């Protein structure tokens, strides 16, 4: 998969302190309650986005089972993922509890949700970048399988990317 517009809008993670993280989440929560009736469209798109996301998880689980246990260089230990505004809006609109802190507090930090047995978060609660990113080993494996699933996955990830953008737009319209 290519980066498309998944590149982070800033070069360092927002809400690095726990206080800033909590404030950001409290603010979204406040707006969600305050403008609840104006946010129905955003919630509907968030639900569709969630369904689309969940539809790709079985394939991602399968490809991880085939590759990650033998990986000599696990990506989660060296990646610099973080939650962006869309990730938080997605969680709140779906009624999902945000994790306790931003994934990293500096570009040199290891993701706080990484463990020796992989990610400690459920897939649905991870930053989008963690779902969107397929490492070269996994990409190659899927492409080589030649069963069409590589193309299907790419198409679905593009749909998710677009619906995330629509969800954020609807959220901002709803609170404006
Ligand atoms: S996704 Fe790829 S790089 Fe990351 S742990 Fe699995 S096999 Fe390794
Ligand atoms: S949030 Fe989970 S999947 Fe994403 S980098 Fe951290 S440990 Fe890996």
Quote the CA–CA distance of 175 and 42 in Å, as a whole number. Answer: 10
Instruction: Write out the chain in H/E/C secondary structure.
Output: CCCCCCCCCCCCCCCCCHHHHHHHHHHHHHHHHHCHHHHHHHHHHHHHHHHHHHHHHHHHHHHHHHHHHHCCCCHHHCCCCCCCHHHHHHHHHCCCCCCCCCCCCCCCCCCCCEECCEECCCHHHCCHHHHHCCCHHHHHHHHHHCCCHHHHHHHHHHHHHHHHHHHHHHHHHHHC
Quote the CA–CA distance of 52 and 59 in Å, as a whole number. Answer: 12
Reading the block at residue 135, the tokens are 């490492």
Residue whose CB lies within 8 A of the most ligand 2 atoms, among 61, 67, 79, 115, for a mutation test:
79
**14 CA to centre of own chain:** 15
Q: Show the ligand 2 pocket: residues with CB < 6 angstroms.
A: 76, 79, 81, 103, 111, 113-114, 119, 121, 126-127, 130
Q: 131: Cβ below 6 Å to ligand 1?
A: no
pLDDT of residue 4: 38
Instruction: Answer whether residue 6 shows pLDDT above 90.
Output: no
Residue nearest to atom 2 of ligand 1 (CA): 135
pLDDT tens for each residue of 34-56: 999 999 999 999 999 999 999 99
pLDDT of residue 9: 52
83 Cα to the center of ligand 2, angstroms:
10
pLDDT tens for each residue of 22-37: 999 999 999 999 999 9
Quote the CA–CA distance of 138 and 147 in Å, as a whole number. Answer: 14
pLDDT tens for each residue of 62-118: 999 999 999 999 999 999 999 999 999 999 999 999 999 999 999 999 999 999 889
φ, ψ for residue 118, nearest 5 deg: 105, -160
- What mean pLDDT value characterizes the chain? 93
pTM of the model: 0.92
Q: 135: Cβ below 6 Å to ligand 1?
A: yes
**141 CA to centre of own chain:** 22
Q: 75: Cβ below 6 Å to ligand 1?
A: yes
Reading the block at residue 169, the tokens are 């737009």
Residue whose CB lies within 8 A of the most ligand 2 atoms, among 71, 76, 80, for a mutation test:
76
Instruction: Answer whether residue 152 shows pLDDT above 50.
Output: yes
């Amino acid at each position: 998969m290519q980066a498309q517009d998944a590149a982070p809008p800033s070069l360092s993670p927002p809400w690095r302190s726990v206080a800033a993280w909590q404030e950001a989440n409290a603010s979204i929560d406040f707006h969600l309650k305050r403008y609840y009736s104006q946010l129905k469209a955003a919630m509907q798109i968030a639900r569709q986005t969630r369904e689309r996301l969940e539809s790709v998880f079985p394939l991602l689980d399968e490809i991880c089972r085939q590759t990650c246990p033998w990986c000599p260089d696990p990506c989660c230990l060296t990646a610099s993922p973080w939650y962006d505004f869309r990730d938080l809006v997605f969680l709140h609109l779906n009624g999902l509890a945000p994790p306790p802190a931003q994934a990293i507090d500096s570009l040199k930090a290891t993701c706080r949700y990484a463990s020796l047995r992989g990610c400690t978060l459920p897939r649905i609660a991870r930053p989008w970048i963690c779902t969107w990113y397929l490492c070269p080993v996994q990409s190659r494996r899927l492409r080589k399988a030649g069963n069409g699933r590589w193309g299907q996955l790419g198409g679905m990830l593009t749909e998710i990317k677009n619906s995330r953008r629509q969800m954020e737009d609807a959220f901002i319209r709803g609170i404006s």
